Amino acid sequence: MKQARRLDNAPPYLFVEIEANIKKALEQGIDVINLGIGDPDLPTPEFIVEKMIEAVREPKFHAYPEYSGSLEFREAVARYYKRRFNVKLDPETEIVALLGSKEGIAHIFFALVNDCDFTLVPDPQYPVYKLATALTGGVPYEMPLLRENGFLPDLSTIPGEVAKRSKILFVNYPNNPTGTVADLNFYQKVVNYGLENEIVVCNDNAYSEFTYDGLEAPSILQADGAMKTAVEFHSLSKSYNMTGWRIGYAVGSAEIISKLKKMKENIDSGVFTAIQEAGIEALDKGDFHARRMREIYQARRDMAANELKKLGFEFDIPKGAFYLWVRVPEGYTSKEFSAQLLERTGVVVAPGSGYGSSGEGYFRISLTIGEQRLKEAFERIKRAEI
C-alpha cells in the first residue's frame, strides 16, 4: 500500500534511528552508554508527582479538557513569564497549552505554511522544523549556524526573493545542538526582520532554564514589537524532568496564537487536565528545582569538557542547553564516527549530520546521564583510541 506523497518527503526521524541502533546493540549483549538522546535521567520532582496523584483522583478532571488548556494553567504560564522575563501575557488570547512543545512546533507550520511557501530554518536544527516544512509542502531555506558567526544565523544573507515568499522563521536559543545562548540584541534583529518582511518569527525556548557561568537566557518576547509577530514555544519536559508527561505551551502574538488554536481544535482534544494541574505546581513552585538542575548540568558540562580536552577533541564550551557539540576526528564523517564509537565502545552519540548539512563534521553529546556513567564513557573512548 502506498503512503501519502507528503511522507515521501519526510526522512527517518533522527532519534528513532538512534533508538533502533541502541536496541540492536543491546540485543548483541553490548553494555550501551547512551549519550545520544536528551532525556533527563533524574525523576520528576516528588511535589509535582504528588500533585498529579491528587489531581488524577478528581472525577471532574476525567472529562475532555479545554482545547486551549485550562484557564488556571494558562494563568500559571502568565505568572511564570512575568516572574522570569517580566513579560505580561493575556491568558485568554496569548497562551495555548500544548501536548509537549514538539506538537505545537509541528502544528504552527500546518497553521501558516502553504505549498511552495518558504520557511527559514536553522541548520543545524532540531529536526522537527525541516520535517514539518516537508509535511506541509513548504520549501525549507536553511540558515547556516557557523562557528565563525557564533552559531547565530546571518539574516543579511537571505535573498530578498526568498524573504518575500517566506511565512515563518524559526530560531532556537539556548540552542540544540550547539549550546549557544542568544542575547536580546539578537532577538531584536530577528523581530525587526519579521516585521519588515511580514514573517512570523518563532523561538523554541525549551532550554531557557539551562544556562551557565551566570548567564540568563532572555525571551524573544522581551524584544520591542515581538507581540505583533512572534511566538515562543516552551516545554515542561526539560526544566522539570517531565519528558514523558507531554505538556508544554506557546505564547506570544494573539493573532498567531489564534491560528495555532484553530489548528489544534481540529486535530487534538487538549492536554489531560490532571497533567495541567501538575504543570501549574511545577510552574508556580519549581524555580528551586530548575536552579538545582542547572547546577547539576554545569558540573557535568565541566567534567565532560575536561575529559574531551584530554582526549584531544575540538569544541566550544556551551553556555546553555545540556549538550556538547564536538568536532569528529579527522578522517571520519559524522555517521562513520558515531557508528565506530558504538561498535568499539558501546557509547552512543548523535551524528551531527542528523541535524542538517551544516552539522556534518560534528557529533552531539547529551549530559542527561549520571557522572559515573559519563566518566565511564570517556574511559572507554580513551581505551579505544578512536
Boundary-marking domain end, from 285, 301, 330: 285
Residues facing 307 on adjacent strands: none
Q: What dihedral do alpha carbons 124, 128, 129, 133 form, nearest 10°?
A: 130
Is pLDDT larger for residue 291 or for residue 17? 291
Instruction: Say if residue 311 is exposed, middle or buried (CB neighbours under 10 Å; 0-12, 13-18, 19+).
Output: middle
What local confidence, expressed as pLDDT, does residue 64 receive? 97
Residue 384, pLDDT > 90, answer no
Q: Are 256 and 195 in contact (CB under 8 A)?
A: no
Boundary-marking domain end, from 251, 266, 285: 285
What local confidence, expressed as pLDDT, does residue 17 receive? 76
Band of the pLDDT at 5, cuts 50, 70, 90?
Answer: confident
Q: Are 366 and 37 in contact (CB under 8 A)?
A: yes
Residue 354, pLDDT > 80, answer yes
322/276 same-domain check: no
332/207 same-domain check: no
Instruction: Say if residue 8 is exposed, middle or buried (CB neighbours under 10 Å; 0-12, 13-18, 19+).
Output: exposed
234/212 same-domain check: yes
Boundary-marking domain end, from 253, 285, 317: 285
CA distance 54 to 73: 16
Band of the pLDDT at 4, cuts 50, 70, 90?
Answer: confident
Strands (E) across the chain are located at: 33-34, 95-98, 118-123, 139-144, 166-171, 200-204, 230-235, 248-252, 323-327, 347-348, 350-351, 362-366
CA distance 91 to 68: 10
Find, among 333, 339, 347, 352, the residue nearest to 382 by Cα.
347
Which CATH number does the domain housing residue 308 bear?
A: 3.90.1150.10
Tally of domains in the chain: 2
What local confidence, expressed as pLDDT, does residue 22 receive? 78
* Three-point CA angle 128, 130, 134, nearest 5°: 110
133/248 same-domain check: yes
124/246 same-domain check: yes
The predicted model gives 147-165 an average pLDDT of 97
Find, among 151, 170, 110, 99, the residue nearest to 134 by Cα.
110
313/246 same-domain check: no
Band of the pLDDT at 18, cuts 50, 70, 90?
Answer: confident
246/257 same-domain check: yes
DSSP annotation string for 64-130: PPPTT--HHHHHHHHHHHHHHH-----TTTSEEEESSHHHHHHHHHHHH--TT-EEEEEES--THHH
For 31, left (φ over 0), alpha (ψ -120 to 50), or beta? Answer: beta
Residue 239, domain extent: 46-285
CA distance 326 to 242: 27
Which CATH number does the domain housing residue 121 bear?
A: 3.40.640.10
236/380 same-domain check: no
pLDDT tens, 20-76? Answer: 877 887 788 889 999 998 999 999 999 999 999 999 999 999 999 999 999 999 999
CA distance 360 to 352: 5
Q: How many residues does the chain have?
A: 386
186/245 same-domain check: yes
231/122 same-domain check: yes
CA distance 49 to 45: 7
225/257 same-domain check: yes
What local confidence, expressed as pLDDT, does residue 10 receive? 73
Average pLDDT, the chain: 95
pTM over 0.85: yes
C-alpha cell at 110: 500546518
CA distance 251 to 203: 10
What local confidence, expressed as pLDDT, does residue 24 receive? 81
39/62 same-domain check: no
What local confidence, expressed as pLDDT, does residue 125 receive? 96
CA distance 76 to 271: 15
Band of the pLDDT at 9, cuts 50, 70, 90?
Answer: confident
